[in-house]
Structure 1
Amino acid sequence: MNPYKGFIKTKNKKSIQPFKDRDDLLSYEQVRDLPEYAGVLADGIILVDVDDVETSDIVLDIIDDLGIKCYVIDTTRGKHFMFRATDTVTTNKTKTMTAVGLQVDMKLGSRASYQMLKTNGVTRNWIRRPAEIDEFPFWLQPVKTNVDFNTMEAGDGRNQALFNYILTLQSAGLSKSDIIETIHLINDFVLPDPLDDKELDTILRDDSFKKVSFFKRGEFQHHEFAKYIKSEESIVRVNNVLHVYLNGVYSDRQADIELVMIKHLPQLSQARRRETLSYLELIAETAIVAPAHYIALQDGIFDLETDEFMSFSPDIIIKNCIQFRYVRDAYDEMVDKTLNKIACGDHDLRSLLEEMVGYLLLRRNELGKAFILTGSGSNGKSTLIDMIKHFLGDGNYSSLAMNELGQRFKTAEVFGKLANLGDDISSQYIDDNAVFKKLVTGETVNAERKGRDPFDFNNYAKMIFSANQLPRINDTTDGLMRRLIIIPFNAKFSSKDDDFDPFIKDKLITDSAMEYFLRIALEGLKRVLNNNKFTMPTVAVTELEQYELMNNPLLAFISDDRKIHNELTRDVYLSYSAWCHSNGLRPLSQIQFSREICKRGYEIKIKKIDSKSCRVFSKNM
């Protein structure tokens, strides 16, 4: 990230050229040999100027201890620290106290500010210059206080000062967790003589935190309440939709956001909750969703790339959690036997089933595949779907049919889900599949919820449908076929089987079963990502070829040894239309028909017949 828009000439640290809202700033090559120059801060940068060597060393020690990435430049009297700006600071500050109890100056790139980089012929030295920098930390947030922790010794009332300081930080809008961390930083780095852990625990006990009042002379202060719960409950905006942090992941359910409101104010009326929601829409920061290789599980966040776990954190924005543990050597005989029976002993088909379930865990859709599970009853389809539903959990899947995906208020149901599990879609005719295709490949779609603003999102929910008979889709392009994997279910489960168990579904959703299901799903996902494709058993390839013939009557018409070469285009079309009607199929229009014929080795030529110019199909030789 470049911290500068450009550079300017200075004299005695004062600019000698205009630089506000200018696009003719100097380049580094133009200024580097000057005795003095400055860099004009980029709009997304905040500079913290610590004009004292000892204080600047404290800030640097905290930054290194917390692993914060920022730019650091040495100055003659201290250090400059640069971060990505947030909306915490909106104006430049001079001699302001920070939450951590240190005095600094602050400059914002958005406020037309510059930073001295060379004075008296000496270029300032970069101490830290990482490729990317982190956001401005909360513990440097400006606060109104006269307390000087930097000079406070034992016997100077440190305990009481820290206790009182909690209210100061609450008034500044810091959350409870941020306040606790800030007090620890003051104790560890700022106080000359730190308190012991027991004293600090006493100061930070729960009843030290004042219940903030959100009523003034009987009037509800919705804006203050909104700011409070935003920081206290980690409320952010994802895809222009409000989300709240709950149990390790983020929820976009409005009811969940209202529940955290009444946790703080149990008697809050619906009207006041709506008022608070409206203000939250205005002030919530836009959050960046965590990489797709982070998978939230019951025991933490699993990094698919490193094979390691991380603790849950509000800083890791994930919407979905699989509520089962990852046990690396998990095994469940009932699940293993059932999947083998569903796959009819076909190793490749078993691999594809594992990969399909694993693909649900990846919050991206680049592989662009949807799955249709087909076959007549008692073949394991519904059993597998029930296993997947239990595995994902109620909030992680939707249940739309294919022809519902593009309907108003329906598309939004797949937002933030891991899967859409459509029940039997047999005998449907899908007239418009444009939204379906976009959802499958993760392209941007627009969605709307009742009474709320429309929003755009990139879908990562995988489409899985079951069908006793495959539906016809009004699309004969390669684009549709590329998106489909059709999995035949040819197994037969019967009460006459030696191993018949009427309670098998209960045994397939035990914790042991789900832990094994998770293990093979992750193995399947890794296999897909390594190969950049799914395992394709012969039965699935054949099923797709047969479906293409069924879905595109034109192919079946051509394969019927129809005479097309040198025939009048209108006669061939009439023959095709009659053939469609006799088979209960909907014919293409004549223009579409001609285009499709020409894609399959024919062209249209003008031929004289009885002195008349006629259009005929001619086979390319």
Structure 2
Amino acid sequence: MYIEYVEGGKHAARNAEIADTPDVFDDAGYLLNENDLIIDVDNIGKNLIEKIISMFNINTQIVWTNRGAHFYYKKPKGFKGSKKVCPLGFEVEYKHVKNTPHGVCIKQDGIMRTIQNEGFREDLPDFFFINRKLESLLGMDEGEGRNQALFQHRMKIHNLNQWQSIMRFINNHILATSLDEKEFQNIIRDKGNIGTTSNDPFEIAQDLIKRLKVHKFGGNLYTNDGQKFVSINDDDFIPIVTREVLGKPTRFIDEIIKQMKYQLFNKKTPENGWDIKLKNGILRSGKFYEVDYQEFTPYFINLKYEQNAVPVPIVDEYLDFLTDGDKLYKDLILESLAHILITDPDFKRSLAKFFIFVGGGGNGKGTLMTIIRKIIGAENCSSLSIEDMTKEQYFYSMQGKLVNLGDDIHDIPINHKQMKLLKNISTCDSVAIRQLFKQSLDVVMTTSLIFTSNHLLKSFEKSEAYKRRVDWLPMFGVPRKKDPKFISKLTTNEALEYWLKLIIEAYKRLYENGVFTECQKVQEFNKDYHETNNNCLAFLHDYDKHHFIGKRAPEAYGEYEVWAEENFGVDSAISSRIFQETLKKEFDLVVYPKKINGKTARVYMAKEEADAKEKQ
């Protein structure tokens, strides 16, 4: 949001106008939200600011001001502060919604300030903030206690990830006169890592949190392995920690990991969902950004996105096989896979879908699930059936996953408990999860749900909500001959990059259109399924609404019961409640009291007529 500033000024007038864009104002400020933290740097030259950006690989949003720059970061939980000397040796100002409620200047005299990396918010780096009191080193010269001050500064920041680079920057650019190399090396000489030579698990945990970039999300610890963040549930996490404290007993290492858990706050999911890191950039809000991304995200896909990836014929042939060559159906299948890449709960809620691929055995459904795992990464997938999702000992495993791939679902009707969970997850509603021996938590899951089945599953619920949320995706292909290397050919590195290209194109298309591609084949298949699932729909095809108007509810339902038994067998009729709901949906009829031969009877009438009677 943006607020109008006074003409030529950097502050808002009382009761100033607010808008979604600065375009409507000549002078405007950006209104900070609860997650924004701005570092205002204005007491060093812009050339030095550019050196900081280059030396420390800063990719967050930067707005250049008249005197310096504003660096936009994610505000850490519980952050407080206004002005302070940062580890780089000079004073900065911290602006957040509490101390800057009227925003920061972003436009003056009709001209927008220069913005780099617009929309990006990195985590607050430790070279801009440390929870210790530091003395300014800016302009300090020989004869002013420079060497002693620099040494004291070194001792205060020795636990930071890049403390040596910070010290080098201070010596070269912040001090009035730099130390010669011999003096400088004497000050920064590593006298042993204070954290890891300690026998105090608390101190070691503090040190490792900084050096290993440890974060906590969803109650689990994550550390950076140089390419991605790996969870404590990953086999690599404990060895990474153990390497840092070689020779320590396992109980001591377990205590260090516990200390990390106790010291760290859970990271809050960003409002628009987590970025998904690829080998050459990130996916965010329907777009791909080519950037060397170092910020925390629990999601990593070990592939490059190549916009001009060369088509791989076997991939196109396989998609033709699945869809019987229907272009719209291919688009829909790719969009169902692209749905996995959407982590924004609001946007995913608007799509509100889960998918069931259905068809006979050996027609490519299982192969598709294997391909998805190869593309997305097994660590980003869970594998629960619809039945197992309702069991709390299994359900917890879905937390933090991009997709649940439930393969070969048994021919058992979907009951009410299962249906509720399917609907809640597909609409990103809050659900309760519980880890073994722990209290339950309410979380919003953005996990996509994809299942395969050889059968059309009946459901206890026949509602419109279910119809809107499920997409039954029939596999039309009939296998000719088996190729034992078929999956290997579909999942070579070239094939996977081509798959990813197609899926990201579908991902962008979903964000542009806001809906899935409509395919007549799939629509007709789903219509037939719902008529089978709710045979009342087939019964109503033989009538129009006038057949039911004036009939008592039991009389109309009795006609349907006889028809259902004759056509589908004993006990095949749906309940009278669902029958009434179906009549309301199909014909806009409701049951309402009406006088017949001097007696009141509850009969079907047009909803419009019933509403008019209510008003009388």
Residue 415 of structure 2: aligned partner: 431
Matched, 1:590 2:571: no
Tell me, yes or no, if the aligned pair for 2:40 and 2:71 is still in contact at 8 Å.
yes
Give the stretch that moved more between structures: 566-575 or 465-474: 566-575
Tell me, yes or no, if the aligned pair for 2:196 and 2:244 is still in contact at 8 Å.
no
CA separation of 1:310 and 1:569: change in aligned 2, threshold 3 A: same
Give the stretch that moved more between structures: 571-580 or 259-268: 571-580
Matched, 1:361 2:349: no
CA separation of 1:441 and 1:106: change in aligned 2, threshold 3 A: closer
Residues 401-425 of structure 1: CA distance to partner in whole angstroms, max 9, x if unpaired? 2233343243332222221111122
Give the stretch that moved more between structures: 532-541 or 601-610: 601-610
Tell me, yes or no, if the aligned pair for 1:417 and 1:461 is still in contact at 8 Å.
yes
CA separation of 1:297 and 1:84: change in aligned 2, threshold 3 A: closer
Tell me, yes or no, if the aligned pair for 1:569 and 1:617 is still in contact at 8 Å.
yes
Matched, 1:227 2:213: no
Residue 489 of structure 2: aligned partner: 507
Matched, 1:553 2:535: yes
Matched, 1:384 2:368: yes
Give the stretch that moved more between structures: 446-455 or 130-139: 130-139
| Unmatched segments (≥5 aa) in structure 2 | 4-11, 16-31, 102-112, 610-616
Residue 100 of structure 1: aligned partner: 88
Offset, 1:215? 7.5
CA separation of 1:252 and 1:458: change in aligned 2, threshold 3 A: farther
Give the partner amino acid of 2:494. Answer: S
SS in 2 for 1:430: coil
Tell me, yes or no, if the aligned pair for 1:440 and 1:483 is still in contact at 8 Å.
yes
Matched, 1:450 2:429: no
Tell me, yes or no, if the aligned pair for 2:195 and 2:207 is still in contact at 8 Å.
no
Residues 409-449 of structure 1: CA distance to partner in whole angstroms, max 9, x if unpaired? 43332222221111122422111212211211223323222
Give the partner amino acid of 2:88. Answer: V
Give the partner amino acid of 1:377. Answer: G
Matched, 1:401 2:380: no
Give the partner amino acid of 2:475. Answer: F
Offset, 1:571? 3.7
CA separation of 1:512 and 1:83: change in aligned 2, threshold 3 A: closer
Residue 539 of structure 1: aligned partner: 521
Superposition pairs of residues 162-241 of structure 1, within 5 angstroms: 166-170=154-158, 173-175=159-161, 178-194=162-178, 208=190, 210-213=192-195, 221-238=200-217
Distance in structure 1 (CA, Å) of the matches to 2:35 and 2:397: 35
Distance in structure 2 (CA, Å) of the matches to 1:359 and 1:327: 19
Give the alignment's TM-score, normalised by structure 2. Answer: 0.73
CA separation of 1:201 and 1:425: change in aligned 2, threshold 3 A: farther
Distance in structure 1 (CA, Å) of the matches to 2:495 and 2:71: 52
Distance in structure 1 (CA, Å) of the matches to 2:343 and 2:550: 52
CA separation of 1:517 and 1:223: change in aligned 2, threshold 3 A: same
Give the partner amino acid of 1:383. Answer: T
Residue 480 of structure 1: aligned partner: 466
Residue 450 of structure 2: aligned partner: 464
Distance in structure 2 (CA, Å) of the matches to 1:113 and 1:618: 60
SS in 2 for 1:100: coil
SS in 2 for 1:139: coil
Distance in structure 2 (CA, Å) of the matches to 1:328 and 1:201: 49
Superposition pairs of residues 68-107 of structure 1, within 5 angstroms: 69=62, 86=76, 98-102=86-90
Residues 543-589 of structure 1: CA distance to partner in whole angstroms, max 9, x if unpaired? 11111212223223333559745444224434545665653666544
Give the alignment's TM-score, normalised by structure 1. Answer: 0.72
Matched, 1:297 2:284: no
Give the partner amino acid of 1:331. Answer: P
Tell me, yes or no, if the aligned pair for 2:215 and 2:267 is still in contact at 8 Å.
yes
Residue 250 of structure 1: aligned partner: 229
Residue 138 of structure 1: aligned partner: 126
Offset, 1:384? 1.7
Matched, 1:334 2:314: yes
Give the partner amino acid of 1:244. Answer: T
Residues 83-123 of structure 1: CA distance to partner in whole angstroms, max 9, x if unpaired? 98757986788xx8652334x59899999999xxxxxxxxx
Residue 140 of structure 2: aligned partner: 151
Greater Rg over alpha carbons, structure: 1
SS in 1 for 2:408: coil
Offset, 1:520? 1.4
CA separation of 1:174 and 1:471: change in aligned 2, threshold 3 A: same
Distance in structure 2 (CA, Å) of the matches to 1:135 and 1:343: 44
- Match of residue 395, structure 2, among 387, 399, 411: 411
Tell me, yes or no, if the aligned pair for 1:320 and 1:416 is still in contact at 8 Å.
no
Tell me, yes or no, if the aligned pair for 1:488 and 1:543 is still in contact at 8 Å.
yes
Residue 265 of structure 1: aligned partner: 245
Distance in structure 2 (CA, Å) of the matches to 1:43 and 1:329: 40
Give the partner amino acid of 2:462. Answer: T
Distance in structure 2 (CA, Å) of the matches to 1:49 and 1:369: 44
Residues 2-25 of structure 1: CA distance to partner in whole angstroms, max 9, x if unpaired? 99xxxxxxxxxxxxxxxxxxxxxx
Residue 22 of structure 2: aligned partner: none
Distance in structure 2 (CA, Å) of the matches to 1:44 and 1:304: 18
Distance in structure 1 (CA, Å) of the matches to 2:326 and 2:37: 60
Residues 271-324 of structure 1: CA distance to partner in whole angstroms, max 9, x if unpaired? 7625643553443363554966954223343568665411130x2535232435
CA separation of 1:237 and 1:149: change in aligned 2, threshold 3 A: same
Offset, 1:204? 11
Tell me, yes or no, if the aligned pair for 1:239 and 1:456 is still in contact at 8 Å.
no
Distance in structure 2 (CA, Å) of the matches to 1:354 and 1:317: 24
Give the partner amino acid of 2:244. Answer: H
Distance in structure 2 (CA, Å) of the matches to 1:290 and 1:420: 22
Distance in structure 2 (CA, Å) of the matches to 1:201 and 1:357: 55
Distance in structure 2 (CA, Å) of the matches to 1:270 and 1:200: 42
Residues 25-78 of structure 1: CA distance to partner in whole angstroms, max 9, x if unpaired? xx9659xxxxxxxxxx9999999999xxxx93369943884377589898xxx9
Distance in structure 2 (CA, Å) of the matches to 1:111 and 1:367: 35
Give the stretch that moved more between structures: 513-522 or 398-407: 398-407
SS in 2 for 1:352: helix
Give the partner amino acid of 2:324. Answer: C
SS in 2 for 1:57: coil
Distance in structure 2 (CA, Å) of the matches to 1:395 and 1:82: 31
| Unmatched segments (≥5 aa) in structure 1 | 4-26, 31-40, 115-127
Tell me, yes or no, if the aligned pair for 1:62 and 1:189 is still in contact at 8 Å.
no
Tell me, yes or no, if the aligned pair for 1:167 and 1:209 is still in contact at 8 Å.
no
Give the partner amino acid of 2:209. Answer: K
CA separation of 1:402 and 1:87: change in aligned 2, threshold 3 A: closer
CA separation of 1:180 and 1:442: change in aligned 2, threshold 3 A: farther
Tell me, yes or no, if the aligned pair for 1:166 and 1:208 is still in contact at 8 Å.
no
RMSD over aligned CA atoms reads 4.9
Residue 309 of structure 1: aligned partner: 290
Q: Percent identity?
A: 20
Distance in structure 1 (CA, Å) of the matches to 2:175 and 2:48: 14
